[in-house]
């Protein structure tokens, strides 16, 4: 395999000329260089995840939220061989499936958290585990979050068991204007991060505006120390990336490769940004440079510019009710999500927290209730899409997961009650059709290496 | 029409004149008394002269009291939040506005929260609108293991928020205390015992007072004023809130009562409390615990589980749900609801609805010195009554009316004003700045 990969690498280099081998004075253009790394296109650190075995399963009689805005009472959900086969009414044949009576219970797609630091800020939260911010330069597009992810973070298991999380995006922190690449994971216990990487998921790129970068670097007497400095550093870096992209003979540059990936639309921009006015400036910067912002994260003031966000097709990944902990979060209100939905803009509820990731369903319900009080019509099924299909869309994985549609991954949560109620919990969670959590079966409860032999090992958490 | 409504609302928000207590009867309600009992259907709550005079079923409404038909809505006592920093900061990360930590101060135990509480703080307005009517508030350990003396406050926004000053002292004896006292729990224990011995001497009970100044580097860890402030602690007149998480640390703290038998202790945190629940129960020491911590955030909470509170309560420990159980204190009712949900998870230990509600109302009130006076709807209790738009432990439920000592409260805040301004994004006639 290794040999094959290197061979492919050599071929790719020779044909694209993207690696700067010293061929200028070479007699023969097709002479292969002596050494060559894999190209970006070959995908180093590739996913090694493959689904675990699962039984053909029929969930019968449940209230089903399909994640795409649909709701079905007394529904049947069929999945086998890792894929959703069908959803429908009681007339669906369950022959050949293990039939589970889900009457009185609820079924949703696996919950997706678009903003997590599990693994790169794992618990225990000791200094040795602070792997989320490469805070040595305001722009570090060259770093990849996956190289910081500790797969033994106990937080993954809590997110699975209490939150029904089946996919999540791990982002670098927000100390830097350009924090690096994110990685999208399936929430499957693994010895390696490669064993968690979501096959086929695009990379994301973490950016941050506002207080954090200017505080971190201004505090060191270097740029940026102001919001205008933030933009100046960003824009110059994008100019450099455009130059790099236009220069076939430039030396390979890890950071520039990521920025070019953004310019080409292959890498999705996830921009930490709180204030409405700054989001509007960032969208103009993206137009100036020719890239797209996929989602603003945290976006506590997104409700002030729902129209702009709709027109630009940018999602807002937000909390339900965080506010006031920093100056740029001062205007956070409970109605943010509902007002965005009213404006026709895309809403995703995110956690940014190893605790709240266990309750994204409850966060969504809080945001829904605030909207209903304003008279904004928000169906339960629409609200479930905030933590399933909308998140999947903004992560570029919606053709594979995020809704219960035939052919999609069988990422499924069976809830013991209405998932928009505080009184409900996941009863079973399947990832690609494999049962990875069962509240009624202790043997289906993952325990990380870190917790073995510790007080509380294997406890309900 | 919208403009008129908004004007009326802001008039309430800006009114600085304290309103008089109203006599009120709330009928046809689902009433949670807050005492641990389950909700009562078709019940009535009567408040007269700012106090509860009756609550429950089969209560006749006096003819001379104006009645509010709750139309089946939930009615509860006001929630009681402990321990908060209400009134001590405007924005956490804006240091100029934040008085919660005095890391550069030469004082620690002597710090007194009462005179610095700002009743106009947005956090107070926002949390009052979430049904919290009273709270413990305190500076936090920062320069030394001692945090200072906290206050009990009401959230009615009048000029006098403090119900009781110097209501409790707080000390950190876990990992954080170890860092503050020089890098080891051993140092924290020496500092703590030395401080209490000096306070004992100052009280005249035992020993001779020394001129205390324990310093580490440039930091004064304990000065004379701090030692004097600990006199009511060592004599048991002022409760001592001990922040501690690890099972072995809890045992060590409980054992200190052998040397200082009059300490009136409350444990804060107790993330591994369930491992020593019987010892805590036997000591009769109440606990203020985070409800939903279930991760080994540090090596002192390796055994953290959401079943911690349920297991301690089942062992006979009096436990309040900490106001810090969520991202902000208004989420403590959500935390309580989550503990009810645990009852349906095999192997987990949850609370009944009544127990869970009590853990955010009467239990924290009792720990704060207001047993039977706050957080409950029993005759003679303060007339703090909340009418909700749904089950108060359900996510998304909010109050529709809040009374504190019989006075109806404004539910307006910076947040509600923003909500009204941005109901729509129409600026066709004038910019948003004119919409207020």
Phi, psi of A241 (to 5 degrees): -65, -40
How far is A122 from A153, CA to CA, in rounded Å?
Answer: 5
| CA nearest to A361 within chain B | B395
Tens digits of residue pLDDT in A330-374? 999 999 999 999 999 999 999 999 999 999 999 999 999 999 999
How close A454 comes to chain B (CA, Å)?
A: 7
pLDDT for the residue A43: 87
B1–A contact, CB cutoff 8 A = no
In this prediction, residue B19 has a pLDDT band, given cuts at 50, 70 and 90, of low
For the segment A140-155, the average pLDDT, to the nearest whole number, is 98
pLDDT for the residue B36: 97
For A131, the token pair is 């792997």
Of residues B18 and A284, the one with the higher pLDDT is A284
Least confident of A22-36, A124-138, A161-175, B114-128: A22-36
In this prediction, residue A27 has a pLDDT band, given cuts at 50, 70 and 90, of low
Number of cross-chain residue pairs from A and B with Cβ atoms under 8 Å apart: 160
Neighbours of B69 (CB within 10 A): 11
| CA nearest to A125 within chain B | B297
User: Quick check: helix, strand or coil at residue B104?
Assistant: coil
B272–A contact, CB cutoff 8 A = yes
For the segment A378-402, the average pLDDT, to the nearest whole number, is 98
Tens digits of residue pLDDT in A402-451? 999 999 999 999 999 999 999 999 999 999 999 999 999 999 999 999 99
Tens digits of residue pLDDT in A177-212? 999 999 999 999 999 999 999 999 999 999 999 999
B10 CB-contact burial (10 Å; exposed 0-12 / middle 13-18 / buried 19+): middle
For the segment B359-365, the average pLDDT, to the nearest whole number, is 98
B272, A455: Cβ pair inside 8 Å?
yes
Q: Is the pLDDT of residue B16 over 50?
A: no
B299–A contact, CB cutoff 8 A = yes
- In chain A, residues with a C-beta closer than 8 Å to the C-beta of B296 are 123-124, 154, 450-451, 454
pLDDT for the residue A42: 87
For B34, the token pair is 């807050």
How far is A27 from A360, CA to CA, in rounded Å?
Answer: 61
How far is B303 from B293, CA to CA, in rounded Å?
Answer: 10
A459, B305: Cβ pair inside 8 Å?
yes
A422, B340: Cβ pair inside 8 Å?
yes
Binding-face residues of B in 46-65 toward A, CB within 8 A: none
Q: Is the pLDDT of residue A258 over 60?
A: yes
Tens digits of residue pLDDT in B199-218? 999 998 888 888 778 887 77
B92, A325: Cβ pair inside 8 Å?
yes
In this prediction, residue B129 has a pLDDT band, given cuts at 50, 70 and 90, of very high
Neighbours of B422 (CB within 10 A): 22
- State the helix-helix crossing angle for A254-263 and A227-246, rounded to 10 degrees: 90
Phi, psi of A328 (to 5 degrees): -75, 0
pLDDT for the residue A268: 98
For A63, the token pair is 């209230």
pLDDT for the residue A3: 40
In this prediction, residue A9 has a pLDDT band, given cuts at 50, 70 and 90, of very low
How far is A28 from B185, CA to CA, in rounded Å?
Answer: 71
How far is B329 from B327, CA to CA, in rounded Å?
Answer: 7
Contact status, residue B81 vs residue B127, Cβ threshold 8 Å: yes
Q: Nearest CA to A157 among A444, A453, A454?
A: A444
pLDDT for the residue B270: 98
How far is A365 from A371, CA to CA, in rounded Å?
Answer: 10
Of B294, B302, B334, the CB nearest to A422: B334
Give the per-residue SS3 of A51-102: CCCCCCEEEEEEEEECCCCCEEEEEEEEEECCEEEEEECCCCCCCCCEEEEC
User: Which letter, b or e, does each residue of A352-370 get, where b requires 16 or more Cβ atoms within 10 Å of its Cβ?
Assistant: bbbbbbbbbbbbbbbbbbb
In this prediction, residue A29 has a pLDDT band, given cuts at 50, 70 and 90, of low
Q: Is the pLDDT of residue A20 over 50?
A: no
A373, B389: Cβ pair inside 8 Å?
yes
In this prediction, residue A73 has a pLDDT band, given cuts at 50, 70 and 90, of very high
How far is A437 from B146, CA to CA, in rounded Å?
Answer: 44
How close B205 comes to chain A (CA, Å)?
A: 41
B92–A contact, CB cutoff 8 A = yes
- What one-character-per-residue DSSP string does A111-161 give? EEEEEE-TTTSPSS--GGG--S--TTSSB-TT-BGGGT--TT-THHHHHHH
| CA nearest to A423 within chain B | B341
Contact status, residue B171 vs residue B145, Cβ threshold 8 Å: yes
In this prediction, residue B219 has a pLDDT band, given cuts at 50, 70 and 90, of confident
Phi, psi of B9 (to 5 degrees): -65, -45
A423, B93: Cβ pair inside 8 Å?
no
Q: Is A182 left (phi over 0), alpha (psi -120 to 50) or beta?
A: beta
B294, A162: Cβ pair inside 8 Å?
yes
| CA nearest to A366 within chain B | B396
How close A182 comes to chain B (CA, Å)?
A: 23
- Averaged pLDDT score across all residues of chain A: 94
For A32, the token pair is 């292969």
- In chain A, residues with a C-beta closer than 8 Å to the C-beta of B251 are none
| CA nearest to A306 within chain B | B425
For the segment B53-78, the average pLDDT, to the nearest whole number, is 95
| CA nearest to B347 within chain A | A460
Q: Which residue has the tokens 């130059």?
A: A243
Is residue A165 within a helix (H) or strand (E), and if so which, with residue range?
Answer: strand A165-170
Q: Where are the beta strands (DSSP E) in B36-128?
A: 40-48, 51-56, 67-69, 74-77, 79-84
| CA nearest to B400 within chain A | A373
B346–A contact, CB cutoff 8 A = yes
Tens digits of residue pLDDT in B247-277? 999 999 999 999 999 999 999 999 999 999 9
pLDDT for the residue B336: 98
Distance of CA A6 to the CA centre of its chain: 31
A359, B293: Cβ pair inside 8 Å?
no
Contact status, residue A326 vs residue B92, Cβ threshold 8 Å: yes
For A169, the token pair is 């995006």
pLDDT for the residue A12: 38
Of A333, A372, A461, the CB nearest to B294: A461
Binding-face residues of B in 96-155 toward A, CB within 8 A: 122-123, 126
pLDDT for the residue A25: 52
pLDDT for the residue B2: 38
Of A303, A417, A440, the CB nearest to B346: A440
Q: DSSP label at B432?
A: G
User: Quick check: helix, strand or coil at residue B50?
Assistant: coil
From residue A258, how far is each of A141, A294, A315 by CA, in Å? 6, 15, 21
B93, A325: Cβ pair inside 8 Å?
yes
| CA nearest to B274 within chain A | A456
Query: Which residues, listed in sequence order, are joined to residue A165 by a DSSP beta bridge?
Result: A111
A451, B296: Cβ pair inside 8 Å?
yes
Neighbours of A130 (CB within 10 A): 14
Of residues A32 and B286, the one with the higher pLDDT is B286
Contact status, residue B214 vs residue B191, Cβ threshold 8 Å: yes
A30 CB-contact burial (10 Å; exposed 0-12 / middle 13-18 / buried 19+): exposed
Contact status, residue B180 vs residue B142, Cβ threshold 8 Å: yes
B4 CB-contact burial (10 Å; exposed 0-12 / middle 13-18 / buried 19+): exposed
B248–A contact, CB cutoff 8 A = no
- Averaged pLDDT score across all residues of chain B: 94
A154, B303: Cβ pair inside 8 Å?
no
B395–A contact, CB cutoff 8 A = yes
pLDDT for the residue B179: 94
Among A423, A426, A454, the residue to mutate for chain B (most B Cβ within 10 A)? A423
- Whole-number percent of chain A with pLDDT over 90: 92
From residue B425, how far is each of A306, A323, A343 by CA, in Å? 8, 21, 9
From residue A342, how far is each of A335, A338, A379, B58, B423 by CA, in Å? 10, 6, 12, 45, 9
């Amino acid at each position: 395999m290794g040999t094959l990969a290197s061979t492919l690498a050599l071929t790719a280099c020779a044909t694209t000329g993207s690696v700067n081998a010293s061929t200028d004075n070479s007699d023969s253009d097709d002479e292969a260089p002596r050494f060559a790394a894999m190209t970006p296109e070959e995908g180093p650190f590739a996913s090694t995840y493959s689904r675990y075995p699962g039984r053909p399963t029929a969930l019968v009689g449940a209230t089903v939220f399909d994640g795409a805005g649909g709701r079905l009472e007394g529904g049947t959900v069929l999945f086998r061989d890792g894929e959703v086969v069908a959803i429908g009414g009681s007339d669906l044949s369950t022959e050949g499936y293990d039939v589970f009576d889900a009457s009185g219970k609820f079924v949703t797609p696996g919950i997706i958290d678009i903003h997590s630091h599990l693994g790169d800020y794992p618990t225990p939260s000791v200094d040795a585990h602070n792997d989320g911010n490469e805070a040595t330069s305001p722009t570090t597009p060259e770093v990849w979050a996956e190289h910081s992810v500790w797969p033994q973070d106990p937080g993954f298991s809590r997110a699975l068991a209490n939150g029904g999380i089946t996919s999540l995006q791990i982002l670098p922190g927000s100390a830097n204007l350009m924090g690096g690449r994110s990685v999208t994971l399936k929430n499957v216990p693994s010895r390696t991060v490669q064993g968690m990487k979501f096959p086929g998921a695009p990379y994301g790129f973490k950016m941050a505006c506002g207080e954090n970068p200017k505080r971190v670097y201004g505090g060191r007497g270097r740029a940026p120390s102001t919001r205008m400095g933030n933009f100046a550093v960003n824009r110059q870096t994008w100019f450099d990336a455009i130059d790099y992209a236009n220069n076939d003979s430039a030396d390979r540059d890890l950071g520039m490769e990521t920025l070019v990936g953004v310019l080409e639309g292959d890498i999705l921009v996830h921009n930490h940004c709180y204030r409405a006015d700054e989001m509007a400036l960032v969208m103009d910067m993206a137009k100036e440079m020719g890239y797209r912002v996929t989602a603003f994260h945290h976006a506590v003031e997104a409700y002030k510019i729902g129209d702009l966000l709709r027109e630009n097709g940018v999602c807002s990944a937000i909390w339900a009710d965080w506010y006031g902990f920093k100056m740029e979060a001062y205007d956070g209100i409970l109605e943010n999500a509902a007002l965005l939905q009213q404006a026709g803009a895309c809403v995703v509820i995110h956690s940014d927290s190893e605790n709240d990731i266990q309750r994204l369903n409850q966060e969504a319900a809080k945001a829904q209730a605030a909207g209903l009080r304003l008279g904004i019509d928000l169906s339960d099924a629409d609200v479930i899409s905030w933590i399933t299909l909308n998140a999947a869309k903004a992560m570029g994985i919606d053709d594979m997961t995020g809704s219960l549609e035939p052919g999609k991954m069988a990422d499924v949560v069976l809830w013991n009650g209405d998932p928009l109620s505080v009184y409900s919990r996941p009863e079973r969670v399947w990832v690609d059709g494999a049962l990875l959590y069962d509240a009624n079966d202790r043997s289906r409860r993952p325990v990380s290496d870190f917790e073995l032999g510790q007080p509380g090992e294997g406890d309900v958490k | 029409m919208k403009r008129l409504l908004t004007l009326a609302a802001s008039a309430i928000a800006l009114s600085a004149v304290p309103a008089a207590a109203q006599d009120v009867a709330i009928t046809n309600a689902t009433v949670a008394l807050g005492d641990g009992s389950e909700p009562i259907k078709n019940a009535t709550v009567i408040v007269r002269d700012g106090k509860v005079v009756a609550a429950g079923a089969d209560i006749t409404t006096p003819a001379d009291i104006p009645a509010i038909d709750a139309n089946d809505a939930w009615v509860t006592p006001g929630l009681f939040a402990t321990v908060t920093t209400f009134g001590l900061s405007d924005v956490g990360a804006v240091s100029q506005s934040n008085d919660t930590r005095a890391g550069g101060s030469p004082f620690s135990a002597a710090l007194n929260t009462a005179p610095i509480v700002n009743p106009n703080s947005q956090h107070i307005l926002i949390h009052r609108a979430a049904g919290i009517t009273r709270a413990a508030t305190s500076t936090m350990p920062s320069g030394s293991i001692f945090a200072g003396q906290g206050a009990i406050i009401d959230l009615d926004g009048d000029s006098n928020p403090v119900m009781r000053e110097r209501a409790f002292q707080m000390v950190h004896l876990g990992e954080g205390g170890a860092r503050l006292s020089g890098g080891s729990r051993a140092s924290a224990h020496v500092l703590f015992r030395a401080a209490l011995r000096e306070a004992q001497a100052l009280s005249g009970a035992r020993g001779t007072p020394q001129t205390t100044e324990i310093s580490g580097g440039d930091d004064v860890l304990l000065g004379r004023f701090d030692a004097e402030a600990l006199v009511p602690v060592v004599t048991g007149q002022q409760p001592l809130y001990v922040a501690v998480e690890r099972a072995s640390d809890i045992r060590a703290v409980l054992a200190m009562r052998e040397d200082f038998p009059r300490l009136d202790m409350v444990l804060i945190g107790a993330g591994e409390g369930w491992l020593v629940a019987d010892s805590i129960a036997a000591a009769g020491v109440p606990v203020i615990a985070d409800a939903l911590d279930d991760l080994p955030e540090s090596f002192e909470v390796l055994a953290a589980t959401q079943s911690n509170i349920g297991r301690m309560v089942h062992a006979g420990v009096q436990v309040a749900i900490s106001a810090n159980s969520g991202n902000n204190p208004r989420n403590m009712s959500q935390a309580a609801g989550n503990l009810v949900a645990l009852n349906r998870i095999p192997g987990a230990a949850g609370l009944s609805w009544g127990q869970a509600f009590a853990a955010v109302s009467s239990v924290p009130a009792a720990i704060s010195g207001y047993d039977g006076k706050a957080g409950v709807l029993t005759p003679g209790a303060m007339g703090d009554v909340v009418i909700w738009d749904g089950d108060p432990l359900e996510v998304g439920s909010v109050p529709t009316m809040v009374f504190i000592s019989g006075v109806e409260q404004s539910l307006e805040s910076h947040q509600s004003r923003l909500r009204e301004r941005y109901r729509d994004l129409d600026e066709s006639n004038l910019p948003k700045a004119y919409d207020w």
